[in-house]
Amino acid sequence: MLNVPSQSFPGPSSQQRVSSGGRSKVPLKQGRSLMDWIRLTKSGKDLTGLKGRLIEVTEEELKKHNKKDDCWICIRGFVYNVSPYMEYHPGGEEELMSAAGSDGTDLFDQVHRWVNYESMLKECLVGRMAVKPAFPKDYHEEKRLLNGMLPKSQVTDPLAKEGPSSPSYDWFQTDALVTIVIYTKQKDIYLDSVIADHRDDSFRAETVIKDYSYLIHIALSHEIQEDFSVRVVENVGKIEIVLKKKENTSWKCLGHPLENHNSLIPKKDTGLYYRKCQLISKEDVTHDTKLFCLMLPPSTHLQVPTGLHVYFKLTITGTEIVKPYTPISDSLFSEFKEPVLPNNKYIYFLIKIYPAGLFTPELDHLQIGDYVSVSNPEGNFKISQFQDLEDLFLLAAGTGFTPMVKVLSYALTHIPSLRKVKLMFFNKTEDDIIWRNQLEKLAFKDKSTYF
């Protein structure tokens, strides 16, 4: 019998689906591409009508600017004149108008919180809202030294009270090490639930718990070595992050809390966090698709869960552009041999280069050793829904094949009940089929697999 999982792929509100439910990209007029927009923003034209002056905007003032040719929108406390952008907006003028003269932050985040509006609209900045958005109430109260006591964690959003119970943390030290222990009080916490970065003197660890993130964000009181390790005791949901001291001195406190430290906040409110990854290699896979290998910095712990994607960020002619890509394993076979090493620092991507595209030609021009910013994982897909599958049918087209690589690998190694896997892979021509040989070998080797 066909065993259909209750949640389909991609998840109901994942980016792959944004177009469903009546929302879709609209065809833009000739000369209204993103590159054309970037050119307009660099042309020196006064796009706000304020000749470069920044003003404080009251709510009453904002409300007045609600027409297509005079449209202001507030996002995260900053007000933009989006009228010049109307014709360039891939979601269409009507969508943009739904936030006209008001605070569009929630609407914007619902549709595409990854879009780098600050950079794209910097020439459209009118100013700040006169009333600054309030800081989390307890933030200032906790601006004292973290003295090693277990502080009560902050829940910055009232909605979070309906979410998972709030985690807590503690820390202890030996001569050489400082260990931060996070008690999530959850069972389904894995190594890929924790994303940690050490940058300058600050340390940030984000633990994903369902649709929430628990943040440890500290300006450390002493210097540490670049690399650190993360361990998870899965059955009790305990996370241990072991930092290596630079000097063998005793720490009196862990450090000072930074924004959202010790808070459980809805994941959509955390903002996308990026780190620079180095291009290690680039190989042709088909006539237009390449396998990119990126290396995470030693000061980052990040594993992308199956079915999720990350965002790449590059500055193209002075504007930060963000595009999503789905990590894969380096070959269809490597993951079948052994699980990915927990401290794996390499991430692989299959990326089609569009000669007339905006982002991929820039990516293709990167030299080995160059850097690209890579975000935390995003998406709602949960591989656990595949647990008791008997038959798995996968449909992919073009580079839409990329999420299938890890899904296939997981299915063939982790689902004992699985009887049959069928991949239907749609391509324009035979030459476009990514990893055709590997797929054929796999189908030949594994009799439960069809391609």
Ligand X SMILES: Cc1cc2nc3c(=O)[nH]c(=O)nc-3n(C[C@H](O)[C@H](O)[C@H](O)COP(=O)(O)OP(=O)(O)OC[C@H]3O[C@@H](n4cnc5c(N)ncnc54)[C@H](O)[C@@H]3O)c2cc1C
Interface residues with ligand HEM (CB under 6 A) are 18-19, 23-25, 73, 82, 89-91, 95-96, 98-99, 104, 107-108, 111-112, 115, 117, 120-121
Between 5 and 91, CB nearer to ligand HEM? 91
Q: How far apart (Å, rounded) are the C-alpha atoms in residues 73 and 94?
A: 13
Find, among 196, 192, 177, 174, the residue nearest to 242 by Cα. 177
Identity of the residue numbered 36:
D
Burial pattern 265-303, b for ≥16 Cβ within 10 A else e, equals bbbbbbebbbbebbbeebeeebebbbbbbbebbebbbbb
Q: Which of 227, 273, 324, 415 binds ligand X (CB under 6 A)?
A: 324
Q: Which of 72, 169, 325, 381 binds ligand X (CB under 6 A)?
A: 325
Identity of the residue numbered 368:
I
β-pairing, 168-173 with 177-183?
A: antiparallel
Q: Which of 214, 359, 386, 435 binds ligand X (CB under 6 A)?
A: 359
Q: Across the chain, how many H-helices and E-strands are there?
A: 9, 26
Task: Determine the residue with CB nearest ligand HEM.
Answer: 91
Between 7 and 24, CB nearer to ligand HEM? 24
Residue 257 near which of ligand HEM, ligand X, none (CB within 5-8 Å, type-dependent):
none
Closest approach of ligand HEM to the CB of residue 321, in Å: 9
Residue 280 near which of ligand HEM, ligand X, none (CB within 5-8 Å, type-dependent):
none
Q: 315 and 366 in contact (C-beta within 8 Å)? A: no
Identity of the residue numbered 247:
E
Between 232 and 322, CB nearer to ligand X? 322
Closest approach of ligand HEM to the CB of residue 103, in Å: 9
Tell whether residue 264 is a contact of ligand X (CB under 6 A).
no
Q: Give me the DSSP letters along 234-275.
A: TTTTEEEEEEEESS----S--EEE-TTTTEEEEGGGS---EE
Q: Which of 221, 278, 399, 448 binds ligand X (CB under 6 A)?
A: 399
Applying CB under 6 A, the residues found at the interface with ligand X are: 15-16, 28, 33, 309, 323-326, 349-352, 354, 356-360, 399, 402
